[in-house]
Amino acid sequence: MKVFATLFLLAASATAALAAVPAPNAGCSQPGQYCNGGTFLCCNNRQCNNNVCS
C-alpha cells in the first residue's frame, strides 16, 4: 500500500510542477491577430492598429 501512495504522490507532484510552468507570451496577440488595446494586447510592444497587431 505504501508503494501506491508513493507513486500517487510522485504523480501529483509532477503534474503540479508541469502546471506551474507558464506558456511563453501567454495572453498576448501575435502580429496579424486581433487586439483592442485593453484585454487583447500585442506581444513584444507591437502596435494595435484597427484592432490588428502590427
Residues 2-32 pLDDT 10s: 765 665 566 666 565 555 555 555 678 889 9
Q: What is the pLDDT of residue 53?
A: 93
Bigger pLDDT: 2 vs 41:
41
The 3-state DSSP class for residue 51 equals coil
The Cα 33–Cα 3 span in angstroms is 49
Q: How far lies 44's CA from each of 4, 13, 50, 54, in Å? A: 46, 33, 18, 11
